Structure 1
Amino acid sequence: MKEDNQLVQLQKELQPWLTAGTLYQAILSSPKIKGEQSANKIVMRPVQLKEGLFYQFESYYNNKVLHQNIPAAEAAETLLPLIQDQYKQTLIKEKSTHLHILTNKKGLLSIKRKRNEEQIPEQIIQQHNRQKRRVLEEGTPITFLVELGIMTSDGRVHAKKQDKFRQINRFLEMVEDVLDYLPTDRTLKIVDFGCGKSYLTFALYHYLSVEQQRNIEIIGLDLKSDVIQLCNDLAQKLDYKSLSFLVGDIADYEGLSQVDMVVTLHACDTATDAAIGKAVNWGASVIMSVPCCQHELFPQVSNEIFTPLFSQGLLKERFASLATDGIRGQLLESIGYRVQMLEFIDPEHTPKNLLIRAVRPDVLSFNEQKWDQYQQFKQFLAVEHSLEKILKSHLPS
């Protein structure tokens, strides 16, 4: 009965710690049953979400890590069965106490308590509570993510969709940073060129319309009619009344006279330049572009100094891609936009991870210095670029 009392006592201790957030880590190791279905280790820690205090259970398998967020009031119900039935060893770290727990085959507990001598400062515990907030949090079902197959109906992100979930959040974080540049006195008009399956388009609509309560109109444009039909069907199912998708080419699109934000994700080669040109001519406040397949400069770049680079096709290709994006940024800065080159997602997933983010100040003023630098750069490499031609009305003749 002594061991049964240990479990009862543990339950009494855990609940106030969990509710207060003073339990800042629990590590469960040595699974009783080893195999692909059992995590080698589980680490639990507090996280502060929009809905309140949760505990994140981070499960480590041989080739993956899964996360589950449980409300603080329910965390003990999840933790205790794991301690009693599935793991032989548990270390619980609370602000003032450490518990070392051994569980035998019958599920009976042996607990050693000792004073926490780590002297964890208050701010460290708060850091756990302020773990990096994602714009879209796991743990609460988000309808469009469920429909797109990224999230389950109970709010868990599918293991194979974790990368896509991070990509969507990264994109929305970048949007969040430039909200102040978007007008608030009228309906926002946004165009997503080359929207494809439109993960980011739906995310943008959800974030701005549902969470930010902005009045918006978003148009997604792509050449694939079957994909556009699927996107329109989903928008209708979600009741996203101000989101529509059209079949069309970026360069030929003339459906609007003013747009506040232009998004392009992997618009191929000079299609990126066509989209940027449209954005500038519309007076877009925000441009967010992830370039792709940049071939225009590859046959042009020429300079004997760079022979060690240009004699190797792979190196020349990479240089030409970087030079292309450098030119795009320089031209946008020349006409007065403020430009940042950002890492979109982890480069281990794709080398096409650079995002050009440009914002328009209230008054555009031509930057002579940036223009001179651009002229010197293109002469040095003996190149001509499509974006300069597209923006000719904004540049010196």
Structure 2
Amino acid sequence: MEELQELLYKYLNQSLVQIIISNPRNREVAGKIHLRPVLVKEELVFQASEYKEKKVYHKNLVREDAIQQVLCWLEEYRQLEVVSQLGQATVLISKKGKITVKEKKAPACVKQIDLSHNRKKKYILDPEKKVEFLVDLGVQTKEGKIVHAKYDNFRQINRFLEFIEDILPELPKDREVTILDFGCGKSYLTFAMYHYLKELKGYPVRIIGLDLKADVIEHCNELAEKYGYEGLKFFVGDIAQYEGVDAVDMVVTLHACDTATDYALDKAIKWGAKVILSVPCCQHELNKQISNELLQPVLKYGLIKERMAALLTDALRAEILESKGYQVQILEFIDMEHTPKNILIRGVKKGSEKDGTDYRKVMEFFGVSPTLETLQNGKDGQNA
């Protein structure tokens, strides 16, 4: 590894444009890793970005640590590429560990790079463009500037729209798309969803927002009318009892408390919703049920038990959706209140129903019976 170490000492400096580490030896590690120089408080560090599935993990490393980290990574990868103002290099590592290094001069097109740590983020909603509902919700000023204290709200809205952007190919554009938003609250995201799908993307949409707070629903309807959002309506109602539609294309449920999420998911499945976006909250149900003699030394700690139960709840929800023919991802969301409740379950209907034997074994192991399982399969455990 001495040859690699010398190479890294040569190129890991302010002249570096980027290092790309790729071709992993197994699927458990990130698909690729990028390394670039940045200035943080006038100190040169190297920002590493690990791309795993659809997530990116960042960390900043000082030069010595970055060199050692790259050497460690190369035990799991077969290729490294360096682009620098000083030159270019390619490193190939064979199955037997043979290292091949090829270097050449940097092309004339390689210029000084931007070392700023915070590059301008490209948002789906332009932060410099005035949007009426963002102004009324206090996220933008009347001049169309993002209110500093509301930037987290703006980032959350855009993050949510990114999730929707990913599933656009699943939504029909030749007919009206029906979307249900359960527990819509003040409807930051509901208005953003309508604005994005209808105004920016041209989808013929009908969005129904549902919440228990009558005053909030009244205000949301007033705003929808003010903006001319004819396809956006809000109603007072309970998730479990709502029967206002027969078929739905997409169901959204954000921070529905405890088993309210299960009722929303149950409705979505029975409606045959093509897409489900759910951010669960307050997963108390399984915390009261979970029991396993083997794990008792761990479960005796209340905080650990609570977090394990919350993760188990959402994992089982995802598995139940999978058994109903959904392709499911569990993604990280940006929470408006800065709580740990930042998991988003995204399901896209892709195929036929599957056997749920595996996740039922997990239920049996932990001694739990989630509400979604009961709603979908009945108390006798048989398909309805």
Q: How far did 1:132 drift?
A: 4.0
2:369 equivalent to 1:384: yes
Q: Alignment partner of 1:384: what SS?
A: coil
Write the mapping of 1:3-14 to structure 2, written as runs, cut at 5 A: none
Structure 1 residue aligned with 2:170, among 181, 200, 205? 181
2:374 equivalent to 1:374: no
Amino acid at match of 2:141: T
Task: String of CA shifts for 1:166-203, please: whole Å, max 9, x gaps.
Answer: 00000000100011111122100001000000000000
Write the mapping of 1:1-397 to structure 2, written as runs, cut at 5 A: 121-122=110-111, 124=113, 131-345=120-334, 349-361=338-350, 364-368=351-355, 371-392=356-377, 396=383
Distance of aligned partners of 1:208 and 1:123 in 2 relative to their CA distance in 1, 3 Å threshold: farther
In the aligned structure 1, how far is the partner of 2:340 from the partner of 2:261? 17
Work out the percentage of aligned pairs sharing the same amino acid.
54
In the aligned structure 2, how far is the partner of 1:317 from the partner of 1:346? 19
Judge conservation of contact 1:201–1:220 (CA < 8 Å) in 2.
yes
Q: How far did 1:346 drift?
A: 6.4
Amino acid at match of 1:374: Y
In the aligned structure 2, how far is the partner of 1:140 from the partner of 1:357? 29
Distance of aligned partners of 1:395 and 1:328 in 2 relative to their CA distance in 1, 3 Å threshold: farther
Judge conservation of contact 1:288–1:358 (CA < 8 Å) in 2.
yes
Judge conservation of contact 2:252–2:276 (CA < 8 Å) in 1.
yes
| Runs of 4+ residues over 6 Å off in structure 1 | none
Q: How far did 1:148 drift?
A: 1.0
In the aligned structure 2, how far is the partner of 1:187 from the partner of 1:366? 26
Q: Alignment partner of 2:261: what SS?
A: helix
Unaligned runs of 5+ in 2: 1-38, 43-84, 86-107
Q: How far did 1:244 drift?
A: 0.6
Instruction: Give the TM-score taking structure 2 as reference length.
Output: 0.68
Q: How far did 1:122 drift?
A: 4.8
Distance of aligned partners of 1:238 and 1:253 in 2 relative to their CA distance in 1, 3 Å threshold: same
Task: String of CA shifts for 1:358-397, please: whole Å, max 9, x gaps.
Answer: 0012xx31223xx121111001001111101211289747
Q: Alignment partner of 1:178: what SS?
A: helix
Amino acid at match of 1:198: S
Judge conservation of contact 2:335–2:341 (CA < 8 Å) in 1.
no
Judge conservation of contact 1:335–1:395 (CA < 8 Å) in 2.
no
Root-mean-square deviation (Å) = 2.8
In the aligned structure 1, how far is the partner of 2:165 from the partner of 2:225? 26
Task: String of CA shifts for 1:31-64, please: whole Å, max 9, x gaps.
Answer: xxxxxxxxx99xxxxxxxxxxxxxxxxxxxxxxx
- Max Rg structure: 1
Aligned length: 279
Q: How far did 1:302 drift?
A: 0.6
In the aligned structure 2, how far is the partner of 1:224 from the partner of 1:270? 18
Instruction: Give the TM-score taking structure 1 as reference length.
Output: 0.66
Q: Alignment partner of 1:165: what SS?
A: helix
Judge conservation of contact 1:144–1:202 (CA < 8 Å) in 2.
yes
Q: How far did 1:257 drift?
A: 0.2
Judge conservation of contact 1:221–1:249 (CA < 8 Å) in 2.
yes
Task: String of CA shifts for 1:84-130, please: whole Å, max 9, x gaps.
Answer: xxxxxxxxxxx9xxxxxxxxxxxxxxxxxxxxxxx9825956x99x9
Judge conservation of contact 1:139–1:154 (CA < 8 Å) in 2.
no
Amino acid at match of 1:250: I
